[in-house]
Chains A and B, each alone.
Chain A
Amino acid sequence: GNSVTQMEGPVTLSEEAFLTINCTYTATGYPSLFWYVQYPGEGLQLLLKATKADDKGSNKGFEATYRKETTSFHLEKGSVQVSDSAVYFCALSGFAGASKIIFGSGTRLSIRP
C-alpha cells in the first residue's frame, strides 16, 4: 500500500549544524511530496513541496529533492537555528485512486544554542 517512512526522532543538534531528516515513500502512480512543520501547540504549516521527479522544493533554507529512483524526499538544511526546533512531517498525495494525504509519523528536532 501507499506509505511514508521517516527518520525516528528526537534529533538533537547544535546551532549551525547540518541537518538531514530522511523520508522514503511507497506509492502507486506519481505522487506529490511535501514537508510540513509543526511548532509546539500549533497546526501544521507547509514548509516545501515537489510535484514531480527531480524537482527540488526549498524554503527558509530548507531543501528536499524528489528522487524517484530511490523513492526518497530527504529534508536538509545547511545551518540550523534554535528557531528551527519543531516537529517535521513528510507527506505524499495524489497517488492513484486516492483523494487524501498520507503523513509520516513526524520527527522532533531540537536545536541547542
Chain B
Amino acid sequence: DGGITQSPKYLFRKEGQNVTLSCEQNLNHDAMYWYRQDPGQGLRLIYYSQIVNDFQKGDIAEGYSVSREKKESFPLTVTSAQKNPTAFYLCASSKPPPGQSTRGEQFFGPGTRLTVL
C-alpha cells in the first residue's frame, strides 16, 4: 500500500541533544513538508521541499534542519538550538501538477510525538 511513514511514533530527548525524525513516502510525490503541532493548536510549517536537493524555510524554521537527498525521504533534525521542541511533528507530501503551485491535497503521515526531558 502507498503511504507516508514516520518513525518513531514517540521520541524522548534530553535537553541539548539533536534528534532526527524520519519521513518516508512511496507515493512518488515530488513535494514534501514538515509541520509542528502544539496541543490545541493548528499546524505550523517548518520546512518544505518541492524537488530533490532543494528545500525552503517555512514559518518556524529556526532550530530545525532538513535534507532531501532522495525523492522518497525528507528527514527533519531538531537541533539543540530549538528552544521548545516538545510537540507533535507531522510530515506530508503532495504532487503538484506540472507548471502549477500546490493545488492538490497533501497526504499526511501518522506523526511523531517528541518530548524533551
**Which residues of A are at the interface with B, using a C-beta cutoff of 8 A?**
32, 34, 36, 41-46, 49, 51, 89, 93-101, 103-106, 108
State A86–B50 Cα separation when bound (angstroms). 30
Chain A, interface SS category? loop
Find out whether the CB atom of A99 lies under 8 angstroms from the CB atom of B90. no
Contacts of B33 in A (CB 8 A): 100
Name which residue of chain A comes closest to B97, CB basis: A94
From B13-21, B66-74, B102-110, the one touching the partner chain is: B102-110
Chain B contact-residue range equals 20 to 34
Contacts of B42 in A (CB 8 A): 89, 103-106
Interface members, chain B 79-108 (any A CB < 8 Å): 90, 92, 96, 100-108
Contact A106 to B103, CB < 8 A, known contacts A42-B111, A43-B110, A44-B90 = no
Find out whether the CB atom of A51 lies under 8 angstroms from the CB atom of B43. no
